[in-house]
Structure 1
Amino acid sequence: MTTTGRLTTHVLDTMHGKPAAGMRIDLLMVHGDHTHHVLSTFTNSDGRVDQPLLDGDRFHPGAFELNFHVGQYFDRLGVSPATPFLDIVPVRFIMSEEAHYHVPLLVSPFAYSTYRGS
């Protein structure tokens, strides 16, 4: 049975005012007090991943966590302090229905914001 739900994300680098290209993102499924790794990917030149993180038969409701490797991204650009303030930014959320869940991240080396987008 194919579902209509999907999970997407994108990352905007607010320090430079552009998409965060080449950032590693890990998707985890949450089971109570533990998680398991679902997939790892990198953002493209538009700060998005090339395909939905979950869709079709791979999509299902549940608790998930996106880990954005912010420290590694800014270090690669040469803008991180010797000891970064933000390293991995976890965003834990619940998908409760078959719908489009878009979880963007706006980030600088010292702050971030997220929301459920469209």
Structure 2
Amino acid sequence: MEVDGGEIVKFLQDTLDALFQIMMEVSGGDTYDFLVFDALVFIISLIGDIKFQHFNPVLEAYITNHFSATLAYVKLAKVLNYYVAQAENPTQTDHLFAALKVLKYIFRFIIQSRELYLR
């Protein structure tokens, strides 16, 4: 999340593929789930910025055509649920507010992952 936004959007599909690959391959603990979730929220927020909003169709196409993490819905929902449950904790409110701003896309990833799993 310290990389320039322009570099992230140039390689959006590869970046998202890498994030979901990390999430799916490391199943031992929650540590990477939270890091990947926060990075995903950061990237989606970046695309919501006026400077990069012309990459929104790229994100839409990725979710519809290229996203392939069949079990991501479990981990994404778990992290989102944790942040909602921790809403009163002042150290977690920033994470929750950031996630709520991009909730539409988080749910699109969750739904697409679940649909892929059911197939």
What is the TM-score of this pair, normalised by structure 2?
0.25
Answer 1 or 2: which has greater strand percent. 1
Answer 1 or 2: which has greater helix percent. 2
What is the TM-score of this pair, normalised by structure 1?
0.25
Q: Greater CA radius of gyration, 1 or 2? A: 1
